[in-house]
Chains A and B, each alone.
Chain A
Amino acid sequence: MLEVSGITQIFGGVTALDSVSFSITRGDITGVIGPNGAGKTTLFNIISGIYRQTAGTVTLEGKDVTGLSPDRLARLSMVRTFQNIELFGSMTLLENVMVGMHTKSSSGLLACALKMPWSIAEERRIRAGAMKWLEFTGITDLADHTAGSLPFGKGRLLEIARALAVEPRIILMDEPAAGLNSQETLALAELIKRIRDLGITVVLVEHDMELVMDICDRIVVLNLGRKLAEGTPREIQESPEVIAAYLGDDD
């Protein structure tokens, strides 16, 4: 589904990523792990079109998407969430998710301003769709609260609901469990599995080893900008190189 080939990223004098390649199978939950500074978020930023890579290609469903802007990628059904959640703080939860449905709607500036009948109908559809995704993540009771006032755990769920509203075929999550307590992390695991059951391919960068080993079908390990290993959770747990690099760490 997603192929990353020879991705290299050099910032100034620092080589953040060195010829990283791997591929993601459709329908899998894939984890990308590695010690801090391994280049995981940089990799995500390149795949999701936020950074320009120094070399290498990204292929999505057979199409070369290297260097495409994030909004083009959203229209190609790829979406991502952020490590430091980037909520639209001045809008309500419902409005946040409604923005997620931007690619699923099309009323332009004039149609909206002149309240053309088709734009009114579309608005109703957007609102209903957004509610549905709030329900999916279990935060409907807060629908009219301002996103800026949310506790962190709920904010994470909102960001996920918002990303799902794009109806992506693949979602990249950057450390979704960061800052969550163990109860919230378990709920997150369930949520991710339910997302996979919808047919969406999930790729996550994570530090929480229990979560990763629990739900991931495959794992890619990065260290110091290079791919160290790739395989099933069992294979990774038993790989001597990975253990040498860092396993048993954190949390």
Chain B
Amino acid sequence: MSAHEHPQAIGGKMLDPLMKTLLSLFGLSALVMVYRFFTGIGPVSNMTDGYAWGIWEPINVVVFTGIGAGAYSVGLLCYLLNKGKYHGLVRPAVLVGAIAYSLGGSSILIALGRYWNAFWLADVPIWNLSSALLEVAVCVMAYVTVLWVEVLPALLEGAAASQSPYWSSFGKKWGPRLQKAMPFIIALAIVLPTMHQSSLGGLMLIAGTKVDPLWHTWALPLLFLLSCLSMGYGTVVVLTTILKAAWKAKHDQVLFAQLSKVNAGLLFAYVAIRLVDIAAQGKLRYLARLDHHLFFFLLEMALFLAPAFMFLSAKVQRNPGRLFGAALMAVAAGALYRVDTYLTCYDAGAGWEYFPSIGETVVTIGMASIGMAVFIFIARKFPVVVVDDAHGHSNVGAGQVRTAASR
């Protein structure tokens, strides 16, 4: 069956110019981060008591994990609805998820003022269960672990195919064992993101006087859950299209078209809930303000609706370039919605201004760069990406061990 193609290690030169660029960008951000640990957060950022989270929380955590939700959204389709044809998309999505969530977690650690007290999180009885942030923190930590366990089959396959007899037997022994436990791990990988992605929206429920009325609604958790799914499906299409261009990864246009139809439904659902909620709560008058709120609201609506219509058009479905563009817009839509809720349409009150500092921006860019670098490294070394065999690519590391996550 064609659904059972095996992912392969891409191989190739590790330190190419792209890799060097990514690593230097990360190096730069590492300097800022080290500096921050000696001086505090003030000197490297423009954060204030009014804008206490700057861009690190809204972008490094809320947007990065939205991008990482590809693992969640494809997992839902593939495992829960048993659409085996999507299996080829799982490994790259899971790897992106594991990386994005790890970056989100480490960004929090850098942003925490008193990070050394974070070890108290291990003390379950002192958890304040009313805190949405506690739920996010605990869930994200658990989910990062789950995601890397989901990456393990690829690493074990790589080990099984290795030259070293020790690693080979190690991979052959543990690969199938892990496979038996996978359903119970994958089930966690469905429950945990459902919880914390909605909690990321729930976080802002309490800031009722600060989040603009067009964004502040009881439906925040639901809208954040929907937007992570639409971002996730978008990310998978964007990612695979890039992988095809770079490494001739297998690229099934029909599959993408079907996936994108699901995404169109999610995007429409988001817009419908948003608009009905605004009307039902009598907030239509807020649309009469000719200011940045209106601009960002219209931009969001455009970014959600445009890809939704495009995904349903047969022309776009046939054309990889257009589908890529639409998928990119779907990711941007969710990202914009998240940043608006947390930052652009969040008003701390009179007298507070915020624009990210160079230091904050460097850290965010550096984090994204190291994420890409880690993805490239693992994809070159281990079987993650399904390569189109017709192009006669090297078969180094092609997996022999069939695990749940490989199919």
Partners in one complex: no
List chain A positions with a Cβ less than 8 A from chain B. none
List chain B positions with a Cβ less than 8 A from chain A. none
